Structure 1
Amino acid sequence: MIQRFFILCSGADTNILKDCSKGEQNKYAGIGATVFFTAIMAFIASSYALYTVFDNIYTSIFFGLIWGLLIFNLDRFIVSTIKKRDSFKSELLQASPRILLAVIIAVVISKPLEMKIFEKEINQVLLEQKNELTLANKDQIALQYDPTIANLNQEISNLKTEINTKEAETNALYDTYISEAEGTAGTKLLGKGPVYKEKREKHDAALLELGQLKETNAQKIAGIETQIANLNLEYANTVKDSQPIIDGFDGLMARINALGELAWFPSFFIFLLFLAIETSPIIAKLLAPKGEYDLKLEEEESVLKTWVTQKVEQRKLLLSTDGELNEKVYSDIKSEEELYMYKKKKAEELLKLQANRFHDIQVKSL
């Protein structure tokens, strides 16, 4: 039963093959087994590749099954259409388009399995790329907020500088009136005279202004710091919202590109392995000598071709003979007087009917 199933997979004519030797049947069963297991590998590979796209196992298995059946049908068609000829060159020429198609199928099958085999290495490459994207994303988002935050920090710095300047002026006035009281500067008179009072009043006024300035600027600084805190929070939320996009950067195209970042040597040999599997039925048919099945198939094709050619020639001969007979019959009829008189009579009747009909139409139109 298994042998019959694999023979069915090979695309061979079971009616012809059942009358062949066991060795011939085993050969085509082996070819069919290769076609079948290649389709199984295609199903597994496509299911994994589609799982990286859909993230749904049932959808991936469904479309993977369709892809596996498609590959199975293609391989079966390729193998079944290669026929043994008397010349190896003609066989190779016949098989060359099929070999090219087999190479394409091998590439399609091998790539998803390569991604699965090198999954850990690909994940490492993707992790590095995600880290780079995260840093680049933060820098890119920061460009939207940094200028505004820098301007706000500069405003805070200006307000603090204004306070420090006013405080320095107040301290200078304090030193001035103290020096005046001590007699070490100004009038050089010891004691609290009129000049001392004047300078003391200036200091007290400046001290009052300093207090008001500190209070006003402190409110401004608090408001600006609130704006900066809000901007930092908005920046953090923007980074947080965009991070899932980066975390999801592990789709099919990303994994294929990551696979390209790895050493090509192992991937190349995996591709060669699948290429050998995919082309093995074709190569086996090309290298195998013409067997019993091929001879019987060629005989049936020859019988069919001869029968069709015979039918075509018979139809041509029948058409030619019928034409000659018709020509002779009508030639004999042409010379008969009775037929002439009969057709003349009918023509006269027809002309009379036409004349009467034309007369009736003219009368009605008047």
Structure 2
Amino acid sequence: MFKNFFWMCSGADTDILKTCSKAEQIKYAGIGGTVFFTALMASIASSYALFTVFDNYFTAIFFGLIWGLLIFNLDRFIVSTIKKQNHKWRELWQATPRIILAVIIAVVISKPLEMKIFEKEINQVLLTKKNDLTLANKNQIATQFTPEIDKLQTEINGLKNEIDLKEETTNNLYETYIAEAEGRKGTKILGKGPVYKEKREKHDAALAELQQAKIENKEKISTKETQIASLVALQKKQEQITQPIIDGFDGLMARINALEELPWLPSFFIFLLFLAIETSPIFAKIISPQGEYDLKLQDIESSVKSWVFQKEEQRAMVLATDREVNQNIYNDLAEEDELYNYKKQKARELLQQQADAFYKSQKKMIS
């Protein structure tokens, strides 16, 4: 059962293989097994790669199977189209396009498995990148809101400084009229005289202005603080909206780029392993000597080719003979008087009818 399946995978003619030796049958079963397991590895690798894209098991497995079947069909085609000719360099030249295709397939197959093998290291690289992106995103968003917030904060500080200045002025006026009343400054006369009253009135006016300024500036400060709180909330909201995009920065291309930042030697050896697996059926067929199966297949193909050439030559000879016979027949007919007189009579009648028709049309035009 497995032997027939692997024969089918190798692209060989099972009817011919059944008539070959055991060694020949084992050789093509091995080639078919290599083709099958290469396609199986391709299916597993592509399923993982597609899972990083779609984040869905069923979708990844479905398209992974399709990709595996595609690789299986390509490998089977590559192996089955290499014909043994006992000329190694000619066979190698014949297989060169297929080897190039095998290298491309090996790259495609190995890359997802490399990402799975080095998944922890890739996650560490992605985490560092996400942190950098988060900081850069916050700084970028902050540049949109910081100038307005700083402007409002400067205006608040200005309003507070205005209050402090008025309060300092009022306190100085209070100290002035108290010192006048105590006789420590000014006129240095103890008691509440005219000068005291004048200074007291100045203090009271400044105190009233201070109270009014506190009420007005408090309302302004409250309004500006509300605006700042609104801008800060909007900034936080913008950060929350954009953060999921950064958190989702772990797709296929991001992982490939992260893989390239890791040491290249381990990835290179994994690639060489899959390249060896992918090209092994090709080189196995090129290196192996021309066997019983190849000779029998060559005999069948040469027999069919000879039969086709023979049929084409026969058709060409029949066509040439028929053409020569037809030429002789028409040459004989051209020499017969009866045929000549008949065609002469019909030509005369045709010319007479043309002359009559021309006469009638001219007569109509004149009349």
Which position in structure 2 is the counterpart of 1:132? 132
Which position in structure 2 is the counterpart of 1:90? 90
- How far does residue 331 in structure 1 lie from its aligned partner after superposition? 2.2
> How far apart, CA to CA, are the structure 1 residues paired with 2:363 and 2:66?
78
Which position in structure 2 is the counterpart of 1:100? 100
- How far does residue 363 in structure 1 lie from its aligned partner after superposition? 7.9
SS in 2 for 1:68: helix
- How far does residue 111 in structure 1 lie from its aligned partner after superposition? 0.7
- How far does residue 321 in structure 1 lie from its aligned partner after superposition? 2.2
1:35 maps onto 2:35 in alignment: yes
> How far apart, CA to CA, are the structure 2 residues paired with 1:346 and 1:205?
139
Which position in structure 2 is the counterpart of 1:13? 13
Q: Deviations over 1:24-52 (max 9, x none)?
A: 11111111111111111111111111111
Count matched residues. 366
- How far does residue 210 in structure 1 lie from its aligned partner after superposition? 1.2
* Cα contact 2:42–2:68 (8 A) shared by 1: yes
> How far apart, CA to CA, are the structure 2 residues paired with 1:158 and 1:332?
125
- How far does residue 353 in structure 1 lie from its aligned partner after superposition? 5.4
Superposition pairs of residues 164-183 of structure 1, within 5 angstroms: 164-183=164-183
One-letter amino acid of the structure 2 residue matched with residue 271 of structure 1 = F
* Cα contact 2:86–2:289 (8 A) shared by 1: no
One-letter amino acid of the structure 1 residue matched with residue 253 of structure 2 = M
1:255 maps onto 2:255 in alignment: yes
Q: Deviations over 1:159-191 (max 9, x none)?
A: 111011111111111121122122222112222
- How far does residue 349 in structure 1 lie from its aligned partner after superposition? 4.5
SS in 1 for 2:80: helix
- How far does residue 318 in structure 1 lie from its aligned partner after superposition? 2.2
One-letter amino acid of the structure 1 residue matched with residue 228 of structure 2 = I
Which position in structure 2 is the counterpart of 1:331? 331
> How far apart, CA to CA, are the structure 1 residues paired with 2:145 and 2:356?
103
> How far apart, CA to CA, are the structure 2 residues paired with 1:61 and 1:360?
87
- How far does residue 116 in structure 1 lie from its aligned partner after superposition? 1.3
- How far does residue 350 in structure 1 lie from its aligned partner after superposition? 4.4
Q: TM-score, normalised by structure 1?
A: 0.94
Give the gaps of 5 or more residues in structure 2: none
Q: TM-score, normalised by structure 2?
A: 0.94
One-letter amino acid of the structure 2 residue matched with residue 234 of structure 1 = L
> How far apart, CA to CA, are the structure 2 residues paired with 1:272 and 1:336?
85
Which position in structure 2 is the counterpart of 1:282? 282
> How far apart, CA to CA, are the structure 2 residues paired with 1:274 and 1:336?
83
One-letter amino acid of the structure 2 residue matched with residue 244 of structure 1 = P
> How far apart, CA to CA, are the structure 2 residues paired with 1:345 and 1:214?
133
> How far apart, CA to CA, are the structure 1 residues paired with 2:185 and 2:49?
91
Deviates more, 1:272-281 or 1:322-331: 322-331
Deviates more, 1:340-349 or 1:127-136: 340-349
Which position in structure 2 is the counterpart of 1:233? 233
- How far does residue 351 in structure 1 lie from its aligned partner after superposition? 4.4
- How far does residue 135 in structure 1 lie from its aligned partner after superposition? 0.8
SS in 2 for 1:189: coil
Q: Deviations over 1:277-335 (max 9, x none)?
A: 10000010110001011111111221122222222222222222222222222222322
Superposition pairs of residues 1-366 of structure 1, within 5 angstroms: 1-352=1-352
> How far apart, CA to CA, are the structure 1 residues paired with 2:360 and 2:56?
84
> How far apart, CA to CA, are the structure 2 residues paired with 1:63 and 1:57?
10
> How far apart, CA to CA, are the structure 1 residues paired with 2:295 and 2:275?
29
> How far apart, CA to CA, are the structure 1 residues paired with 2:310 and 2:351?
51
- How far does residue 336 in structure 1 lie from its aligned partner after superposition? 2.5
> How far apart, CA to CA, are the structure 2 residues paired with 1:275 and 1:250?
27
One-letter amino acid of the structure 2 residue matched with residue 170 of structure 1 = T
Return closer, same or farther for 1:363/1:64 CA change in 2, 3 Å cut-off.
farther
Superposition RMSD in Å? 1.8
> How far apart, CA to CA, are the structure 2 residues paired with 1:257 and 1:155?
48
